Amino acid sequence: MSSTLGLAGGNVDLESANSRKVESRVDRKKLEKAERKIRAKQEKKQMKMVQYESSRLLDQPDSTMSYEEFFMAVNPLQLGSDSAAKSKDIKIDSIDTSVGGHRILTDASLTLAYGRRYGLVGQNGIGKSTLLRALSHAARLDHEREGLDITLSDIHSKLSEMESDKAESRAASILAGLGFSPERQQFATKTFSGGWRMRLALARALFCEPDLLLLDEPSNMLDVPSITFLSNYLQGYPSTVLVVSHDRAFLNEVATDIIHQHSERLDYYKGANFDSFYATKEERKKNAKREYEKQMAERAHLQAFIDKFRYNAAKSSEAQSRIKKLERMPVLEAPESDYVVHFKFPDVEKLSPPIVQMSEISFGYSKDKPLLKNVDLDVQLDSRIGIVGPNGAGKTTVLKLLTGQLEPTSGLLSQHARLRIGYFAQHHVDALDLTTSAVSFMAKTYPGKTDEEYRRHLGAFGITGMTGLQKMELLSGGQKSRVAFACLSLTNPHILVLDEPSNHLDIEGMDALSEALQRFEGGVVMVSHDVTMLQNVCTSLWVCDKGTVTKFDGTVNAYKKMISSQANEAGVAVAH
């Protein structure tokens, strides 16, 4: 016997039930609407990527074209519009940026309000430096176009704003704040190393006061005194600042807003320093997860009712009501999975003290100019020593003396006979063969494991998936640091001696490193400019300055306050 039921506004679908032909009450086309929307969105995104890559990346660049020219040919940005030419706000819509086939941003918008200080944060390898490079190029072209109409009166006005009669003293003050002594300020620029030249570039940018100041990990090249100066200086900076940084303390002091780069988009947190951004982000994530799970449960409940009563004439009106409710329900995207990294250093073989002792050690790179005098330092398996001080004072030299890489000119270094020291160099990249993969490098340097074992080991330090098989020259600075830490752990050290270990690591990486060092059962001696890292790991603070290494009786924040006080007394510029 056949039963025919009317279902308004839909196609009729015949299904077999108990060997009978019946008409379903379900409009399958409507029920699949949500799934089609999701598929369409994914297909559109994929097609956009295919078109983007095929039209831009497949074209071979002119062999005479520089990397920057090729990059900007692939990733063009234009600032604002002609109608907004006089505005110092920046708004760029529909940003599509890619490097080497890896998508960085898709249809993103960048908005920078004049006078605000933005911290740009995100995971290692997400493309923050790539965005800054593209923005810098676009801003430079925009500035060159404006420069065509500059008049002599414009130049005079700019010089007046900068108080040209005070320019020399102001320049000297900025240089002093960044660590240049009066004597060093007179040196020819060609005599400076790469790190000091980067400081010069930063000093020049601060002095010129551009309308948009772009800073990419500025604290990586600075010591605690210089970071303290830069933080104070930027808090009074009158124009727009966009800074990429993973230094929490620095961002807390400097940023008025945070931009979070992730999942090929930019999320804005207005009026937020890093701590408030992080709290808000976590709250948003919890709410999104709660809403998603609630909706999934409701969808499952509705679908279960529909499936159960779709052929029941007595329940037809209720089934129809639930079908419509399911169709009207907005489709929520699944929340992003948490990005979790856990560094792990191996268990430590117990050694009886003394472990490492430096007794009245002096050292100089030339006999007539001693750098360090009468240094005494005792390191045990439970030591957590942080070393701070201005650049050039000898902090790295202390570490190299401690590890035996340098011979003291006088004094005594004693080490336990079975002691193994793991040394993380500030320029650790120099020890990596960037032309090969991390897995191949580890297999060659630390043989004895399978490729799969090396990949699992790298995974514990955040190098996951195919990343461990890529040439290391393609990795970000933070990813290279993770590889270096993974290699360091294979040495089974009793003592970890770390020179600026937080450089290039993202927030998650620094948290993982801090936690791993806290769990590590051996000793730690660390040179670092990162206040948060020093606070979390070190129990004693030593200051390297003026040829000596002395224990500081106080916290890292107390040391920073002392530095700021000394700078104010010396008349160093800290704000405009």
pLDDT in tens, 148-193: 444 545 544 554 555 566 778 888 899 999 988 888 888 888 887 7
- Is a pLDDT exceeding 70 seen at residue 14? no
Can you tell me the distance from the alpha carbon of 182 to that of 204, in angstroms, rounded to the nearest whole number? 17
Can you tell me the distance from the alpha carbon of 107 to that of 103, in angstroms, rounded to the nearest whole number? 11
Tally of CB atoms within 10 A around 5: 12
Can you tell me the distance from the alpha carbon of 251 to that of 379, in angstroms, rounded to the nearest whole number? 33
Angle at the Cα of 550 (from 549 to 555), degrees rounded to 5?
120
HEC profile of 121-153: ECCCCCCHHHHHHHHHHHHHHHHHHHHCCCCHH
Which range among 149-158, 370-379, 408-417 shows the weakest confidence by mean pLDDT? 149-158
Can you tell me the distance from the alpha carbon of 571 to that of 564, in angstroms, rounded to the nearest whole number? 11
CA–centroid distance for 404 within its chain: 33
Does residue 378 sit in helix, strand or coil?
strand
For the chain, the structural domain boundaries read 90-272, 285-328, 356-574
Residue 262's nearest CA partner among 247, 240, 241, 277 is 277
Strands (E), 350-400: 356-363, 372-379, 384-388
pLDDT in tens, 464-486: 889 999 999 988 888 999 999 99
CATH fold of 90-272 reads Rossmann fold (3.40.50)
Question: Which tokens belong to 508?
Answer: 């998650």
Q: Rounded to whole angstroms, what are the CA distances from 404 to 159, 354, 383, 423, 540?
A: 53, 16, 19, 11, 22
Taking all residues of the chain, what is their mean pLDDT, rounded to a whole number?
82
Q: What is the predicted pLDDT for the residue at 572?
A: 62
pLDDT in tens, 183-219: 888 888 888 777 788 889 999 999 988 899 999 999 8
CATH level 2 (architecture), domain 356-574 = 3-Layer(aba) Sandwich (3.40)
pLDDT in tens, 303-339: 999 888 877 878 878 888 888 888 889 888 888 776 7
Question: Which tokens belong to 237?
Answer: 């900076």
Average pLDDT over residues 517-546: 95
Number of H helices, E strands in the chain: 18, 18
What percentage of the chain has pLDDT greater than the value 90? 47
pLDDT in tens, 213-247: 999 999 888 888 899 999 999 999 999 999 999 89
Q: What is the predicted pLDDT for the residue at 51?
A: 43
Task: Give the list of residues 6+ apart from residue 227 with CB closer than 8 angstroms, or none.
Answer: 219, 247, 250, 529
Same fold, 90-272 and 356-574: yes
| Dihedral angle of Cα 298, 301, 307, 311, to the nearest 10 degrees | -100
Q: What is the predicted pLDDT for the residue at 44?
A: 59
Q: pTM of the full predicted structure?
A: 0.71
Question: Which tokens belong to 409?
Answer: 């000119």
Whose tokens are 């039921």? That residue is: 5
Residue 25's nearest CA partner among 316, 329, 304, 314 is 316
The crossing angle, in degrees rounded to 10, of helices 507-519 and 477-489 is: 20
- Is a pLDDT exceeding 60 seen at residue 75? no
Higher pLDDT, 67 or 34: 34
